[in-house]
Amino acid sequence: MTAGRAYRAVLKAVKKHVGAEDHHKKHFNDFVTQQFRRAASDDDAVQGRLRLARDYAFMLNSVHQHKELLFSYNIAVDRSDEMKKILGKSAASVGLQLPDVYQS
């Protein structure tokens, strides 16, 4: 894998799976960019850092897929936030709002 492909894979995984707020994603994007720039200046560590970047992107994607599987099978995962979101969308689709009991 070339440096450009590894860099894009990590940024794509961070954008898709890290944090709900933009400041979390910006922090991770800045860190990834800084690490790739530093790796580009140090030829000895390039292959190791590329492998690490590829593995990190793979891990982020795998953790996300694993979490989705746990949600789909209802296995020991707190689904209250997901259920609130589903209830809110269902109520909004027919022009209603949820009572305050279900609002976070």
Domain assignment of residue 48, given as a range: 3-76
pLDDT over 80 at 88, yes or no:
yes
pLDDT over 70 at 53, yes or no:
yes
Is the residue at 48 inside a domain? yes
List of long-range contacts for 63-68, beta carbons under 8 Å, 24+ apart: 63/17, 64/16, 64/17
User: Predicted confidence band at 27 (pLDDT cuts at 50, 70, 90)?
Assistant: confident
pLDDT value at residue 43:
62
Is the residue at 21 inside a domain? yes
Across the chain, mean pLDDT equals 76
pLDDT value at residue 42:
60
Question: Domain total for the chain?
Answer: 1
pLDDT over 60 at 12, yes or no:
yes
pLDDT over 60 at 98, yes or no:
yes
